[in-house]
Structures are given as C-alpha cells and as structure tokens.
Amino acid sequence: MALRNILKDSDPVLHKKCRAVTDFDDRLWQLLDDMADTLHHSEGVGLAAPQVGVLRRVFIMDMGDGKGVIEAINPEIVETWGTQEGAEGCLSFPGEYAIVKRPKKARMKAQDRNGKWFYFTGDDLTARCICHESDHLDGIVFKDRMERLLSPDEY
C-alpha cells in the first residue's frame, strides 16, 4: 500500500501520449494497487497512470456503486451512444470544474491485470469517467474539451 503523488495541471507529463502496457507483471500490479490507494485517499472516481507520472495506458475507476475498482489496461472505446452535457472535474485540477460534453453511454474493451481482454459498458457518470480517463492516456485533459469553466457559485 502506497500513495502516489498526483501531478497537477502545469505538469507536461499530463499532456503526453501514453504507451501500451506489454508486461503484466509485479510492477504493473504494484502500480494498480498504489493507484487504487491513491484514488480512494483522494475520494475521486477515476485515476489514470499519467496522473501519477507513469506514461502507460492504464486507468482505474471506482464509481462507489459497489462494483469496486475497475482496472482498465490498454483500453479502447469501441462504441458510444448519445450525448450528455454536465459538470466534470479532475484530481489533477483541484477546485476546477467545467461543462464537458460526453457520450451518454460508452463501451470499452480493455485488458485486466493478467492481460485478459474484457468488455465494459457504462452510462451517465460511468460513461463520462470512461471517456475522461481514456483521454488522459492520449494526453488530453478535460479542459481541452470543455464548453466553459464553472464559476465557484455554480458548484
């Protein structure tokens, strides 16, 4: 168990494209375990590896819905449906929220910590999270996609 430092907005690492994971080994599992501790400690719903300084295609999410932590390695969004517009934030941009348009529903395929491929579909907040975290792996942050920032009296 270890907490990792979350990089903040001015860090260039957040704006770089991540490489695929090729080794499903102890080092990856340690990263995933540390990311889960860091996510829970920060009370966020999603965290991507570049946010802790690792430029690999890994994210985790925990929607607090009893499904626990979903680990997505080398994820690809394979289908989306509809649109939603709503407020979004990011652990790398504390205290900032913006209106971001996202699909209403998204389906991804990804590998688990052992390299096994699986499909996962989510709607509403879960779809928003899948898209937000996938963007991180391409160096895209929510503010790159925002309609506008929210002012403090709006949240």
Q: How far apart, in whole angstroms, are the C-alpha atoms of residue 99 and residue 148? A: 6
What is the total count of residues that contact Ni ion (CB under 5 A)? 1
Considering only residues 6, 21, 45, 90, which one is a binding residue for Ni ion as defined by CB under 5 A?
Answer: 90
Q: How far apart are CA 45 and CA 39, in angstroms?
A: 7
User: In the bound complex, what is the minimum distance in angstroms from residue 15's beta carbon to Ni ion?
Assistant: 12
Instruction: Give the residue ranges of DSSP H helices in the chain.
Output: 26-42, 125-136, 142-145
Other C-beta atoms lying within 10 Å of the C-beta of residue 5: 9
Considering only 10-18, 27-35, 88-96, 110-118, which stretch makes contact with Ni ion by CB under 5 A? Answer: 88-96
Contact flag: residue 130 with Ni ion (CB under 5 A): no
Toward Ni ion, which CB reaches closer, 90 or 98?
90
Q: Which one, 26 or 133, has the nearer CB to Ni ion?
A: 133
CA distance 31 to 1: 10
Site residues, Ni ion (CB under 5 A):
90
